[in-house]
Structure 1
Amino acid sequence: MLPYLLIFFISIFCTFLAEKTVDKNKILFFFFSAIAVLAPSLLAGFRDSGVGTDTKIYVDRVWGVFKHVNDWNQFYKYYTRDAFSDIEFVYLLLNFIGSRFGEKVNIIYFITSFVITLLVYLSAFENRKKSSMWLVMFIFLFGYYNQSLNLVRQTIALGIGLYGFKYLEDRKWIKVILLLILLKYTHNTGIFYIGFAGAYLLSVLKYKAKYITLIITLFCSIFIFIYFDFLIGFLVLSGILPSKFLFYLSGDTIDYTSLFIFHFIISIILMTIYVFKINSLEKDSLLSFAFINLLGSILILTSLVSVWSFRVAFYFLFISECLFLPRALYLMRNKRLEYIIMMITIIFLYLFFWNKVYIINNDNDTYPYKSEIIDNF
C-alpha cells in the first residue's frame, strides 16, 4: 500500500504546485509537471510481472514476440499476418517503439503507463480554468490507476477518449471522426465511445422535452440487460464488432453491485450540486454531468449479464469522474461551506473506494506492489 500512497501523494502535490506556477514560472511548471507524470509512470514501469492481471495474459506475451522483431518491415509483416492475434495496432506500435530501447518487459510497462498518465495530465491542464488540476489527478490515481496496470490497452483508449473529449465538446466533427478511428485501433471497445458521445450530445443540446427524453433514455438502458445477447450478436454479424466480442455474451458473470453503488453515489453528488442555486447555463452542464455518470453506473450492472460487458461503462465513467466531477466542484467554489463539504466527501469516497477495491478485494491483482528492480537497489 505504501508505495502507491507515496507516489500518489508526490504526483498530486506536484500537480498542485504546477498549477500554481503555470502563469508565473514556466521552468518550475515543467519541472513539477514532469514529476507528476513520471512518478506514477515509473512506479508502473518498475513493477514485477503479475502486478496487474493482464501482464500475464497478453502484455508479457506480446513483448516476447517483439524481442524477435528486428525492423519495421518485419513488424508490419507480422501484423498483416495476424501474428499478434487480436491485439490492436496502437498498442503494438508502442511495443515496437519500446523494443528499440531494450529487451526488459519493464520498458512497455513504463511506456503504456506514461502514455495514460500524460493524457490524463494534459486533460487536467487544458481544463485548468474549469477545474482543479490536482483533483483530476487525484480521481484518476485513486479511481483508475491500479486498474490501468491491468486493463492496459483499454485504459490507453480511455485516456485518448478523455483528452479527445475537447473535440466533441467544441463540435469539431472531423477531429471527432479521427478520434473514433484512433480509438478503434487502440482497443476494440473504443467503438462504444460513440455511445458516450451520443449520450453527451443528448444531454447537452437544447430541445423541448429534454428532461423527459433523458429519463426515458435511462429507463430504456434497462433493456440492454434483456436484449444483451441480441445486441452483441447483431453488432458482430454486421461487422461493427470483431468476433472476440462473442465472449461478452451472457454466461459467466461477476457481482459488481458494490462498484455500482459507489458510482451511483457519485451521480447523487452531481445531482446534489445541480440543485444548488447556480445560473442556468451551469445547470445545463451539471445536468449533463449527472446524466452521463448515472448512465455509466447503470451499465456497470451489465456485469450481472456478462463478466466482460461492464467495461463498456468505463467510457462513460472515466470521462465523467475524471473531468465532469472536478468541473462540477469548481462551479461551487464561491459557495465556500458547500464546496468544502463536497470536496471532503469526494476525497473520502475515493480513498475508501481505492482501499476497498484495490487493496482489500485486490481487484486487478495490483496488491501487494512488488518490484525486483527496486528491491535490488
Structure 2
Amino acid sequence: MFICSLFFIYIGEQLDVEKNLKKTAVLVGNAVFYVPSIIKMTTIGGIYLLAILLPSFLAGYRDYTIGTDVLVYGNIWFHNAILSNNFWNYLEWANNSSIGVLYATFNYVVSRFTSNVHIFYFWYSFVETALVLMTLRKNRIDIVLGMSTYYFLFFNLTLNILRQSLAMIVIVWGFNYVTEKKLWKYLLIILIASGFHSTAMIAIIIYPLYWIANNREKLLNVFVLSVCILFIVFSEKLTVLALNIGMLNERYSDYLMNSNIRGGFFAHLLFCLPILILYLTAKNNIGGSRDSQRYNGFRLIVAFTTVLSGFNLKYVYLGRVTQYFDFLFLLAVPYIGNRYYVKIGRYRDTLVTKLLIYIYLITYWIIIYGVQNSGETVPYILNFN
C-alpha cells in the first residue's frame, strides 16, 4: 500500500513540475494530447487524493487489535460521541477525562454522520496524511522522500498514539513559523496541537533550539541548551507536580512510563544515529543563508534527540517526550536527502544520499516494526465489520 501511494505521489510530483505552463503534454498509449492547465491541476489533485486515500483506508479498516490506543480509548470515545446529544456536555466530559478537546470534537463531528468507528479512523488518518503532504509541499521538500519517511518511520507509530500523533503532525506543519521567527504564530500552533494532546506544550523547546543553532554567542547557547535538556530530563517531576495539584489526570503517569511503542533506547538510537551521521558528513549542494540556517537548525535538533537517547536508559518516560523532536525528521530527512551529497571516491551526488536514506528507512521498518513488532502492528489485520 505504501509503494502504491508513493507511486501516485511521484506521478503527481512529476506533473506538478510543469504547473506554471499553460499547457502540458499527457501521454495516453502512444498518443500525446495537450490539455489546458486547469485540467492538469485537477488531475494532479486527483492523483494526490488517491495517494492519501490508500494509507487512510489501511488505517481506517484495521482490526481493533492493531494499535494500542484503539481499545484503550479510541473506540470508547467514539461510541461516547454517538450516544451524546449535547456537544458541550460531551466536550466537558472529555476535558475532565484528559481527552483533548479537539480530538473529542473530531469524534463528535464524525459521529454525526456515521456510527462506524472505522470511518472515524479513516478520516483521522486522512487528515494526518494530508497534513504531512501539505507540509512537504509548503516547505518545497522532496515529497516522495518525505512521504517515504512518514510511511516507514511513523505510520505504524500513528496507529498506536492516536491523539499525540496528530498533535505532533500539527507541530511539524507549523515549523515554518520557527524558521521565520514568528513566535506568536508558533505558540498558536502549539495551542492547537494541545487540543489533541496536552504534551504538545513540550514543543516550545523547538523554538530556542533552532535559535541556538544560528546564534554565535556560544556561552548563551550553552546556557539555553542546558535549560532545555534539564527541562526535559525533569519533566517527570514536573508531571508529578502537575498531578499532585490536579492539573493532569492520574493516567498520565502510566502514559509517560509506557515506552514500549517503539522499542526504547536501542530503537531510538537506530532511529537517530544514521541521520545524525549524514548531517555531520554530507556536503552542501545548494548555497544561501536560508539554506544554511535550516541545515544548522535540523542538525542541532537531530543531535539533540540523539543525545536524549542516552537518557532513555534511565528516564523511561523520555521515549514519549522526544517524539516531538523525532517527528521533525519528516522535514530533516528529505531536506538533507535533496540538498546534500555524500562523496564516494570521485563520485558525489545527492542520489547517493537518497539511496542511503531509503536503505535506512526500509531497514528501520523491518527491524522495529517487523522483527521486534514494536507497537504490535505486524502482521497487519484488516476488519470490515
- TM class, shorter-length: 0.7 to 0.9
From 312, 319, 323, the equivalent of 1:314 is 323
Measured against aligned partners, the alpha-carbon deviations of 1:37-72 in whole angstroms (never above 9, x if no partner) come to 1111111111111111111111011112122123xx
Which of 5, 11, 17 pairs up with 1:17?
11
Contact 1:251/1:305 (<8 A) preserved = no
Could you tell me the TM-score, scaled by structure 2's length? 0.83
Q: Match for residue 213 of structure 1?
A: 221
Gaps of 5+ in 1: 1-6
Cα drift, residue 279 of structure 1: 4.1
Q: 1:84 to 1:68 in 2, by over 3 A?
A: farther
Change (3 A) 1:248 1:53: closer
Looking at structure 1, the residues matched to 181 and 306 of structure 2 have their Cα atoms a distance apart, in angstroms, of 26
**Distance 1:103-1:220 versus aligned 2 partners, 3 A rule:** closer
Partner residue of 1:65? 80
For residue 297 of structure 1, what is the aligned residue in structure 2? 306
Supply the distance in 1 between the matched residues of 2:305 and 2:120 (Cα, whole angstroms).
30
| Deviation (angstroms), 1:105 | 1.2
* Residue number in structure 2 paired with 1:44: 59
The Cα of 1:174 is off from its aligned counterpart by: 3.1
Partner of 2:359: 348
Deviation at 1:81? 4.1
Q: What CA distance in whole angstroms lies between the structure 1 residues aligned with 2:158 and 2:256?
A: 24
In structure 2, distance between residues paired with 1:255 and 1:95: 31
Correspondence for 1:34? 49
Counterpart residue number, 2:177: 167
Tell me the distance in 2 between the aligned counterparts of 1:201 and 1:84: 36
Secondary structure of the corresponding residue to residue 338 of structure 2:
helix
CA shift digits 1:94-115 (9 cap, x unpaired): 1111111211110121121111
Q: Give secondary structure in 2 for the equivalent of 1:337.
A: strand
- For the residues of structure 2 that align with 1:67 and 1:280, how far apart are their CA atoms? 53
Partner of 2:348: 337
The residue type equivalent to 2:11 in the other structure is L
- Matches of 2:72 and 2:142 in 1, distance apart? 37
2:138 corresponding residue in structure 1 = 126
Matches within 5 A, 1:110-121: 110-121=122-133
Query: Counterpart of 2:175 in 1: which secondary structure?
Result: helix
Specify the code of the residue in structure 1 equivalent to 2:300.
F
Q: Which letter maps to 2:115?
A: E
Aligned to 2:383: 372
Q: CA deviation at 1:35?
A: 1.1
Deviates more, 1:304-313 or 1:29-38: 304-313
Q: Could you say which structure has the higher helix fraction?
A: 1
- Closer, same or farther in 2 for the Cα pair 1:307/1:59, shift >3 Å? farther
Identical amino acids, percent of aligned pairs? 26
**Offset from partner CA, 1:68-126 (integer Å, 9 cap, x none):** 123xxx12113224576111111111111111121111012112111110110101111
1:330–1:171 distance in 2 versus 1, CA, 3 Å? same
Q: Which amino acid aligns with 2:92?
A: T
Q: 2:87 aligns with which of 75, 97, 100?
A: 75
| Distance apart, 1:146 and its partner CA | 0.6
11-20 or 74-83, which deviates more: 74-83
Q: 1:170 to 1:239 in 2, by over 3 A?
A: farther
Structure 2 distance, partners of 1:199, 1:239, is 30
Match of 1:360 among 371, 374, 377: 371
Mark the CA change 1:29 to 1:251 in structure 2 (over 3 Å): closer, same or farther: closer
Q: How many residues are aligned here? A: 358
1:337 is displaced (CA, Å) by 2.9
Q: TM-score, normalised by structure 1?
A: 0.85
